[in-house]
Structure formats: C-alpha cells, structure tokens
Amino acid sequence: MNDCSHIEESLSAYLDGELTQQDRQRVELHADQCDRCTQALAELTRIREGISQLRQPEPNEIQWSRMMRLTATKTSRGVGWIAGIAGGVVLAGYAVYEFATDETTDAFFKVATAALAGGVLLLLFSVLMERLHARKSDRYKDVEL
C-alpha cells in the first residue's frame, strides 16, 4: 500500500474517535486491505488500553481532607510560618542586640516572644485541625443536605 504513511498518521486519532467520518472511512477501507496498518492499529490499541489500566494513586485521609477545603489553608499556614519566623528573627536580633549593648527592655522581649509563640501555636493548631478532621471516617460528615 503506497499511502500507508499517510494513513498511519491518522491511526492515533482514529482510535480516539477524533476523525471526521470521511477520514474514518478512509482509514477503515485502507486497513481492511493492509496488514501492516491493521497490526499497527492492534498494537496502538493495546498500548492505549494498557495506559487506561495503570494503577491510580489514592490520597490518604489527611490529603483528602485538605482537598475538601474551599479556602486557602496555605494562607493561614503561611501567616503562621511568617509570624513564627519573624518572631524568631526578632528574638535572634534581640539576642545580638543584647550581646552588643548589654541593655534590655522587658516590653520588647515580651512582644517578640509573643509573636514567636503565637506563630508556632497558629501553625500547630492548623495542623491539628487538619488531623482532627481527617480522623472522621465519614467524608461528608459535615455536609448537611
């Protein structure tokens, strides 16, 4: 068959049902008389079916519950991280400052400590909420229909 190469280019789209009726018929007419293209079609079909049967990964409960949220959990977590890190930076700066000057102010220390503790708490609470929610076995326990 001299038009094999042209037909072969269409085999993939033929399998996907994405050809026009005219092109589809042309492929079928050709394949009826061409062993080479018939074989190509069989092999491509096998590959195509094989891919559809590959194993699919499943989310665990924590991942699933995270995906259940319609709001950016990362935002609150991000705020937690930033507050925590900022607090840590301030404290570190303070330590450096104290080393350098040997003079302290109590209020400043309290604010920095509060920022650090608050950030860490927010972070922990966010993770805790996620785990608590994931423990519930029913995926739609919170949905009241």
Footprint of other proteins (CB under 8 A): 9, 11-13, 16, 18, 39-40, 42-44, 46-48, 50-60, 63-64, 66-74, 76, 79-80, 122, 125-126, 129, 133, 140, 142-145
How distant, in Å, are the alpha carbons of 23, 28, 39 from that of 36? 18, 13, 5
Q: How far apart are CA 20 and CA 59, in angstroms?
A: 39
Segment interacting with Zn ion, rule: CB under 5 A, options 4-12, 47-55, 61-69, 122-130: 4-12
Contacted by 107, from Zn ion, other proteins, none: CB < 5 to 8 Å by type: none
Q: Are 87 and 110 in contact (CB under 8 A)?
A: no
* CB nearer Zn ion, residue 4 or residue 92: 4
Residues 25-44 that bind Zn ion (CB under 5 A): 34, 36-37
Residue in the structure block whose two tokens are 């009726």? 21
Which tokens sit at 84? 């925590």
DSSP 81-103: HHHHHHHHHHHHHHHHHHHHH--
* CB nearer other proteins, residue 50 or residue 107: 50
Nearest-approach distance from CB 109 to other proteins, in angstroms: 25
Instruction: Return residues touching Zn ion (CB under 5 A).
Output: 1, 4, 34, 36-37
